Amino acid sequence: MECVIVSEDGLHDPIILPENTPVVLGRGPGTRITDRKCGRRQVELVADYRNKSVRVKQLGMNPSSVGGRSLEPGLEATLREGETLHVVNGLYPHTVRFAPSSPSGAKGQQQAADLAPDPGHQEAQEEEEEEEEEEVMRPRTPGGGEDSPEPARKRPRTENPGHGSSSGDEEEAGGGPIPEVAGQPWPQDKWIKETKLLVFTKKGVRARSKFAGFDIDGTIITTRSGKVFPTGPDDWRILYPEIPRKLKELAQDGYKIVFFTNQRGISRGKLRPQDFQAKAEAIVTRLGVPIQVYVATGLGFYRKPMLGMLDHFREQGNEGVKIDLESSFYVGDAAGRPANWAPDRKKKDFSCSDRLFSLNAGLTFYTPEEFFMGWKKPPFQLPEFDPDTLGSWQKCVTVCEAALRDGKRVAIDNTNPDLESRSRYTDCARKAGVPCRCFLFTTCFEQAKHNNRFREMTSTVLGHVPVNEMVMNSCR
């Protein structure tokens, strides 16, 4: 007997799954999947010839699904003949087939061996793939929509990790201490260049399950000249004398130190990338701690407060070690503080992007003065408009009902193509005694497909994730 996993999109040849042998599918040449939302190690498959089934375990950060049932990292499901495995975010459908052995078995066995997890070769393979990405410089495709993973939920935090406390003894929701996971030290300094993103990893950096994130300008450094903007690559100094010591303490407490910085001047031609790279290396050297640095060089999905840099770090920058967001935190100066928020601080913050970055990610947030100097929490103001992607219709209904009770207006941004899905919200309006309007867009099916492709081709930022044929047919 022979078991094969078949790409319904025809991306690759069928791959044999040997009995009781783990085979890993993900982004790479074996599957020809290039989507950055798909991890290199996305799902693990183990065939059970006796029961004609395949055990599917999700390894990647973004959700896979089996027979319409969504998975999360670490969860498993059983795939049977006639059911569909979507590798990530409802895309890349695969089916499993059991049949008598075929003459092509040797080729399939070799394919399976190539995809099987091999600890002895994984590190070298990942380094080779990273070097390929550095040369190709592929653009990143933003995710989103109902299939995107639900944002992490924060727990109340009463201690500041920068002032002597450690998150190591916190407990997960299921009970028990959060395991501390660490990788091997990074062997050498390395820059990776992608479209609108630069990533620097200092020699000695270790993968960790928890991280301490920091902005750079106004958080770690300020200008030596005293001017708002630096006059050149060397116009900088460490903002507070306490910073190097605090960062070393965090590293000793098991945190990975990661910088996330917006540097739009690079894409605007006002800052040479090599100048900023040299500056970043000098800052890290001055701090004396192995640090990983993410640089958003222009507008788009990587730029804070969007989560592109954090997604890249979680999916590709931590050597496969899963990040525990609840044990991690972020520090930044773009915190939405008003003018005169402190006696000697006359100017208001230029933006709220660092605080919003933390809010979007589900991270505990501190200002530099809170974290490094022990100051009390300052006043701040969030933007008036707060779009909220809730991830499920149940949560949408709950928030809708609460908003109507508060006398607010509500707009539901979704397709809601059938009577049942629409009635969830028309019922809310009826119970609240408020008018409700539903907008019907009268495009034909062919025009909808055209619009889908047109939006994918003409996006001016980082591309549009196409709606797959299965979803479009079900809506039709």
Q: Worst-scoring range by mean pLDDT, 219-228, 393-402, 410-419, 452-461? A: 452-461
For residue 369, what pLDDT band results from cuts at 50, 70 and 90?
A: very high
* Closest by Cα among 35, 60, 40 to 138: 35
For residue 151, what pLDDT band results from cuts at 50, 70 and 90?
A: very low
Of 315, 344, 373, the domain-final residue? 373
Of 312, 341, 373, the domain-final residue? 373
Q: Give per-residue burial for 360-386: e unless 16+ CB within 10 Å, then b.
A: ebebbbbbbbbbbeeeeebebeeeeee
CATH number, domain with residue 405:
3.40.50.300
Instruction: Quickly tell me which residue has 């939302």 as its tokens.
Output: 37
Q: Is residue 166 in a domain?
A: no
Q: Is residue 155 in a domain?
A: no
Same-domain pairing of 420 and 452: yes
For residue 167, what pLDDT band results from cuts at 50, 70 and 90?
A: very low
- Between CA 324 and CA 261 the distance in angstroms is 21
Same-domain pairing of 356 and 267: yes
CATH number, domain with residue 33:
2.60.200.20
Same-domain pairing of 350 and 399: no
Specify which of 80-94, 121-135, 151-165 reaches the highest per-range mean pLDDT: 80-94
Same-domain pairing of 95 and 15: yes
Q: Is residue 12 in a domain?
A: yes
Of 317, 338, 373, the domain-final residue? 373
Same-domain pairing of 221 and 331: yes
Same-domain pairing of 110 and 75: yes
Q: Is residue 198 in a domain?
A: yes
Q: Tens digit of pLDDT for each residue in 58-71?
A: 998 888 999 888 88
Same-domain pairing of 204 and 67: no
Mean pLDDT score, 36-47: 91
Among residues of the chain, what percentage have pLDDT more than 90? 51
- Between CA 216 and CA 463 the distance in angstroms is 28
- Between CA 230 and CA 282 the distance in angstroms is 15
pLDDT of residue 130: 37
Same-domain pairing of 336 and 223: yes
Same-domain pairing of 256 and 326: yes
Q: Is the pLDDT of residue 244 over 80?
A: yes
Q: Is residue 287 in a domain?
A: yes
- Can you give the C-alpha Rg of the chain in angstroms? 25
pLDDT of residue 386: 67
- Between CA 78 and CA 25 the distance in angstroms is 16
Q: Is residue 162 in a domain?
A: no
What's the full length of the chain, in residues? 476
CATH number, domain with residue 362:
3.40.50.1000
Q: How many structural domains is the chain composed of? A: 3
- Find the domain containing 68 and state its range: 2-116
Same-domain pairing of 338 and 444: no
